[in-house]
A and B are shown apart, each in its own frame.
Chain A
Amino acid sequence: MIKNFRIKQILLVLTAVSMILSVVACSGQKITDTTSTSNTNQQDSKVKENTVEDENSVEENPVTITMINTFVPEETNTVAYVAMRDKFLEANPNVILEEEILSSSDACTKCVTLASANELPDIFVLKAQYINDFIGIDVVRPINDILDSDPEYTSLFIDGVFDNFSVGEKIYGIPYQITYQSIYYNSLILQECGYSEFPTTWDELIESVGKIKEKGYIPIAMGDKDNWVLATTLFYALASRHTGIDWFYSLKSGDGAKFTDQVFINALEDLKELYDVGAFNEDWTSIDNAQQKTSYFYTGKAAMVCDGSWAIGQFTRDCPEDVLNNTKFAVLPAVDGVGPQDSLIGAAGWAYCVSNEVDESKMDTISEFLKMISGEEFGRILIEECSIFPAINVEYDTSKIDPFMSEFISFTKGRPTLPAYAYVLNNSVILTLSSGLQEMLLGLKTPLEVAEEAQNELNAVRASHNN
C-alpha cells in the first residue's frame, strides 16, 4: 500500500512540474502570426523578417526597422510597394525589416491601440482622420527634416498633398497615393432606362431612380456596413456642392461655420430624399465596400456605384468584360448650392508616419527607405501597373496604362478637386457624423439632430484641444 502511494505521489509531482514548464516555455515565443480579414477574402498576414546577409557587410551594424503597413496581397498598390521594398533591401543588406501586414481597417485599429500605449512601430501607415489625435497625444514624429534635406524629392509632391498631415509648419506624414471619389455607372443600363447621358442635375438623378427601379435594377449599389463608404464616396461630395469650400475651411478653424448651418442641412435633406425614393439596395447596411461592387455592380444588377479611385484596379481585375466595357465615370449631379458643381473629391488619405519614440540613429536608414517607397520609381509603378494615382508628379509611359485607368485620367483632367471632410476633421467628429447619417436614413433621427450631434462633438473636441 505504501509503495503504491509513493509512486502515485511521484507521478503527481512530475505531471504538475511538466504542466508548469510547458506553460512557461510557450510564453517565451515571439508571436509571429497575425491573421486578419480583408474586404474581399480571408487572408493570412505575416510578420516578415527580410534579411539579406552579405559577407562583405560585416563592418555595418544591422539596423532593425519595425513597420505596420496595409499592403496585403489583394490591395492593388501592393505590387509597387513590394518592388521598391525589395530593391531597398537588396541595396542595404544590413537592414532587417520586420513588417506586420494587415488589412486597412485592422491596421487602423491596431495603430490606434498601440498609440494609446505609446508602443507604435518605427514606421506605420495611417489614415488621415486619425492624424490629429495622434499628434495630440504626441506619438508621431515630424518629418520636415526628411523633406528639407532632399529638395529634389520634396519638389515631386503635388501641391497641397501634405495639408491633411500637417499642423502649422510641421509635417507628420508622407502621403503615397491620392484617391478621387466619383460615380461609376453602367451606360447600357442607363440607356435602357432612357438616359443617353448621366443625369446632370440633382432632380434628374432623383427622377432617374424611379425609372431605373421600374426596369428592375438597383439604382445605386451602396455598402455602408463599415460606416464610412456612404460618407466618403457620396455624402461629402454632396455636402461640398451645397456648402462650398470656404464654409468648410471656416468650419475647420472655428471661424463661424457650423454643421447646423442651412447649407449643410440642405445636403443632409437631399441625401434623405435620395434614400427615400429607394435609390439604395435593401441590404446597404449589411454589405461593405468590396461587396457593393462584387454583389451588385459587376453582376449587372446595379446602374451606379459610388466609389473611390482605388476601385479602378479592382475593376480591371475583377469586373467581367461586358460590364467593364460599358462602365463610365461621372461626378455627382449639380445641386442648388454654393460650391463648384463639377468638382471631384480627392485627397491623400494615407501616409507613412514615423513614431516619436524612434531611435534617432536609425533615422538616416528610415529616411532612405521612406523616400524609396514614396518616390519617383514607386509613383511610376503605382500608376502604370496598379492604376492608382501617386501623391507625386511623375512622368509615366502612357502606353503602359490600363485603358480603364486612362479613361479615368482624362475624366479627372481639368476638374477642380476639393478636400474630403474625412481627411481633415477630427476622428470622433467623423465617426459621429457617419453613424448619424445611417440613423438619419433609417428614420431614427432628423437631419437637424444629426447636424447638432456632429456640431456638439466638434465643439467638445475643440474645447479639449484648447485646454
Chain B
Amino acid sequence: MERNKLRLKPRSGVIGLYMIPSIMLYSLCTIIPILIALYFSFFKWSGGSEMQYIGIGNYIKLVNDSLFWSSFKNNLIFIVLTGVGQIGLAILFTLFLMSPRLKLRETYKSILFFPNVLSALVVGYLWGIVYHSEYGLLNSLLQVLGIESLIQNWLGNINIVLYSLSMPRIWQAAGYYLLILLAAAQNISTEVLEVAEIDGATGLKKAIHVILPQMMGTLKIVLILCISANMKTFEQILVMTGGGPANQSMVVALYAYKTSILNMKLGYGSAMAIGILALSLVLIGVAQVIFGGITKWKKNQSI
C-alpha cells in the first residue's frame, strides 16, 4: 500500500517540470513581446522591410512629446478618480456585506460583480449611448425629472469629459475589487471581531479600527491592480471618445495604438510602449513606498 500513497510535496525538480508550461506561456505572451518591442524601439520603422537604426532617438522624441505627457496626466487623473471610486466603493460594499444580519448576501455579490463580466468594449458602447448629448439616457432622464439645468454634453465638454469617462470604469471594476477585499475580510479570525465587540467597538468603529487595518496587505495589492489597470485603459476610451475632443481624453495606451497603427510609426510606438511600462513600474514603486510608510506609521502609533 505504500506505493500508492502520493507524496505530499514532490521533489523540487518535479515542481520545476510542472511549471514549465506556465513559464513558457507567460514568456510567449508577456516577456517576449516586451523584448521585441524594446528591440523595435531603437529603430525608425513604418512597416514593410526598411528599418533604420536610430539608437535612443525615439526615446528623446518621447520625452519631448507634449501629447504623451498630457495623456499620462490623464492616466494619473483616472488612477485617482477611479481608484477612489472603485476601491472606496469596494471597501464600502465589503463592510456592508460583512454585517452579520444581512440576508441575500450571495445575490448582492452577484449583482455587484455582474458588470465586470461584460467586455470593456461593450461597457464603453453602452455608456456612450447613456451619455449621448441628444438622445442619451442620462440627458433624457434629467429632462423627465425636470432638472434640465444639469444637462451637459457629457463626452464633448472638455472640462467634464474625464469625470464622465471614469464612471463606466468605476461601475465595471468595483465588483472585482469587492470580491478580493471580501475574501480578505472574511479571513479575519472571528475571535478578533468578537473581542472587539466585547470591548465596545461596533459598526463604524469596528470597521475603521479592526477590519481595515487587518486588510492592509490586500489593500496594497488592490491598489497595485488598480494602477496597472488604469495605465492599460484603452477600449472604453476608444469607443466613447476616441481620445476625446481635441485629444483631451487621450490616454497613453490609446496614443501608442494611434501612433503605431494609424500613423504607421511602429518604432516610435514601440518606444512609447516601453515608456508606458517604465512609468507603470515607477507608479507601483511609489505606491508601495507610500503604503509601507503608512504601515510603519501605524505600527509606531500603536507602540
Interface residues, chain A, with chain B CB atoms under 8 Å away: 2, 5, 109, 112-113, 115-118, 133, 136-139, 225-227, 282-287, 295, 427-428, 431, 435, 438-439, 441-442, 444, 464, 467
Q: Look across to chain A and name the residue whose beta carbon is closest to the beta carbon of B125.
A: A37
Residue among B134, B245, B265 with most chain A CB within 10 A: B245
Does any Cβ of A come within 8 Å of B50's Cβ?
yes
Q: A283-B156, A427-B263, A435-B247 are in contact. Are A115 and B242 (CB under 8 A)?
A: no
Q: How far is the CB of A421 from the nearest CB of chain B, in Å?
A: 17
Q: Look across to chain B and name the residue whose beta carbon is closest to the beta carbon of A224.
A: B245
Q: Are A431 and B263 in contact, with the CB atoms below 8 A?
A: yes
> Bound state CA distance, A456 and B4, in angstroms?
75
Q: Are A286 and B133 in contact, with the CB atoms below 8 A?
A: yes
Stretch at the interface among B26-34, B41-49, B109-117, B224-232: B41-49
Q: Look across to chain B and name the residue whose beta carbon is closest to the beta carbon of A282.
A: B153
Contact residue among B44, B46, B158 (Cβ-Cβ distance under 8 Å from A442): B158
> Bound state CA distance, A137 and B262, in angstroms?
14
Contact residue among A117, A286, A441 (Cβ-Cβ distance under 8 Å from B156): A286
Q: Are B246 and A438 in contact, with the CB atoms below 8 A?
A: yes
Other A-B pairs beyond A286-B132, A286-B133, A438-B246, 15, CB < 8 Å = A5-B4, A112-B264, A113-B261, A116-B47, A133-B46, A136-B46, A137-B46, A139-B48, A282-B156, A285-B246, A286-B153, A287-B134, A428-B263, A442-B158, A467-B52
Q: Are B246 and A115 in contact, with the CB atoms below 8 A?
A: no
Please, could you name 23 A-B residue pairs with CB atoms under 8 Å apart, sorted by A? A112-B261, A115-B48, A118-B48, A137-B48, A137-B49, A138-B48, A138-B49, A225-B242, A227-B242, A283-B134, A283-B153, A285-B156, A286-B133, A286-B153, A286-B156, A427-B263, A428-B263, A428-B264, A439-B246, A442-B246, A444-B246, A444-B248, A467-B52
Contact with A along B112-150 (1 / 0, CB 8 A): 000000000000000000001110000000000000000
Q: Look across to chain A and name the residue whose beta carbon is closest to the beta carbon of B44.
A: A464
Q: How far is the CB of B159 from the nearest CB of chain A, in Å?
A: 10
> Bound state CA distance, A433 and B262, in angstroms?
15
Q: Are B156 and A137 in contact, with the CB atoms below 8 A?
A: no
Q: Are A286 and B158 in contact, with the CB atoms below 8 A?
A: no
Q: Are B4 and A115 in contact, with the CB atoms below 8 A?
A: no
Q: Are A442 and B245 in contact, with the CB atoms below 8 A?
A: yes
Contact with A along B259-296 (1 / 0, CB 8 A): 00111111000000000000000000000000000000
Q: How far is the CB of B18 from the nearest CB of chain A, in Å?
A: 14
CB neighbours (8 Å) of B237 from chain A are none
Q: A428-B263, A431-B262, A438-B246 are in contact. Are A137 and B47 (CB under 8 A)?
A: yes
Q: A285-B245, A442-B158 are in contact. Are A118 and B47 (CB under 8 A)?
A: yes
Contact residue among A116, A282, A286 (Cβ-Cβ distance under 8 Å from B261): A116
Q: Look across to chain B and name the residue whose beta carbon is closest to the beta carbon of A285.
A: B245
Does any Cβ of A come within 8 Å of B155's Cβ?
yes
> Bound state CA distance, A227 and B242, in angstroms?
10
CB neighbours (8 Å) of A5 from chain B are 4
Q: Are A112 and B245 in contact, with the CB atoms below 8 A?
A: no
CB neighbours (8 Å) of A438 from chain B are 245-247
Q: Are B264 and A427 in contact, with the CB atoms below 8 A?
A: yes
* Nearest 7 CB-CB pairings of A with B: A116-B47, A137-B48, A285-B245, A438-B246, A286-B156, A439-B246, A283-B133
Q: Are A115 and B133 in contact, with the CB atoms below 8 A?
A: no
> Bound state CA distance, A245 and B50, in angstroms?
34
> Bound state CA distance, A113 and B264, in angstroms?
8
Q: How far is the CB of A14 from the nearest CB of chain B, in Å?
A: 19
Q: Are A117 and B134 in contact, with the CB atoms below 8 A?
A: no
CB neighbours (8 Å) of A138 from chain B are 48-50
> Bound state CA distance, A452 and B264, in angstroms?
22
Q: Look across to chain A and name the residue whose beta carbon is closest to the beta carbon of B135.
A: A295
CB neighbours (8 Å) of A427 from chain B are 263-264
Q: How far is the CB of A345 from the nearest CB of chain B, in Å?
A: 24
CB neighbours (8 Å) of A112 from chain B are 261-262, 264
